[in-house]
Amino acid sequence: MKRTLAIAALALGLILASSACTQDDASVSAIKRAFPASQFDKAVRVATCESGLDPKAVSPGGGNWGLFQINKVHAPTLRKMGYTWDDITDPIVNAKLARIIYDDSGWQAWSCG
């Protein structure tokens, strides 16, 4: 009986571990939701270059934040979207704002663009 329970617990642990969403998965999913299919691959490359797909990344000087390393100059746009700067490290929020910046300026807004 103990052996059966141990095997069942191990199997459950393996199932849960294999279905866990990684940080990269969450970041890529947020990008997929925010960008059109035609720009998805490029958006993933830019975010990978900018932050290593780390939604909590902050530049050394503290001026650029999140997945797409959004500069604080975009804080007013973020507020118009209904968010505060504290939300910028949420990959979904960061990707949504990146899409607005992309729609306005194209990829030239990013050094990795």
Taking a C-beta distance cutoff of 8 angstroms, is the pair 64, 88 a contact? no
Domain membership of residue 95 as a residue range:
22-109
Q: What angle do CA 77, 78, 83 make, to 5 degrees?
A: 145
List the one residue out of 77, 81, 75, 97 whose CA is nearest residue 30.
97
List the one residue out of 83, 82, 108 whose CA is nearest residue 66.
83
In-domain check, residue 46: yes
- Pull the structure tokens for residue 98: 């990146």
In-domain check, residue 11: no
Q: What is the pLDDT of residue 113?
A: 73
CATH code for the domain of 33 = 1.10.530.10
In-domain check, residue 39: yes
In-domain check, residue 12: no
User: Looking at the 3D structure of the chain, how many domains does it have?
Assistant: 1
Q: Give the Cβ contact number of residue 109 at 10 Å.
A: 16
43-62 pLDDT tens trace: 999 999 999 999 999 999 99
pLDDT mean by block of 10 residues, the chain; 113 residues: 55 46 91 98 97 96 96 96 97 98 96 83
